[in-house]
Amino acid sequence: MSDHLPVVLDEARLTSLVDEIGDRGLVMEAVQAFVDELPGRLQAIRDAVAEGDPERIRSVAHALGSPAAMLGATAVSVSTKEMQRAALSEETEDMDERLTEVETAGRLSVAAMTDYLARSR
């Protein structure tokens, strides 16, 4: 596991995404959707960890980490990648600690994304 979380939100990634897509509003909608969907995605990860099913853990961690990477939620992306790696190796003994790291990254990302949205309107 990492000793610290990386940058929480890479705003340069969001700026690049706006440039790539050419629609600032669409990117803002995607950021808001990520924020709105995060509680449910975190609950799915909690449930998978409680079940102890490595394949399910990997799958739900990927389902959160992929959009996180796309939207510059770096801390969430890194922590879910670590969780996926551990699940693939069936290293589930410290999965509760990994879950705590993902949840912490999620909380920090929601705060940073909410601030970004407020400043970007």
pLDDT at 4 over 70: no
Whole-number CA gyration radius for the chain: 14
Q: Indicate the pLDDT class of residue 12, thresholds 50, 70 and 90.
A: very high
The two three-digit tokens of residue 20, written as one number: 């790539």
- Can you tell me which residue has the tokens 């949205």? 117
pLDDT at 11 over 70: yes
**Which H or E run contains 103?**
helix 95-120
**Across all residues in the chain, what is the average pLDDT?**
94
| First CA to last CA distance, the chain | 37
* Per-residue pLDDT reduced to its tens digit, 78-91: 999 999 999 999 88
| Chain mean position to CA 11 | 15
- The CATH architecture of the domain made up of 11-120 is Up-down Bundle (1.20)
* Per-residue pLDDT reduced to its tens digit, 21-54: 999 999 999 999 999 999 999 999 999 999 999 9
pLDDT at 107 over 70: yes
pLDDT reported for residue 92 = 85
Domain ranges of the chain: 11-120
Tell me which DSSP letter residue 93 carries: T
The two three-digit tokens of residue 115, written as one number: 């601030």
User: Whole-prediction pTM value?
Assistant: 0.92
Torsional sign, CA 45, 54, 99, 76: negative
- Distance from C-alpha of 77 to C-alpha of 38, rounded to nearest angstrom: 13
Backbone angles phi, psi at 92, to 5 degrees: -95, 0
Tell me which DSSP letter residue 8 carries: S
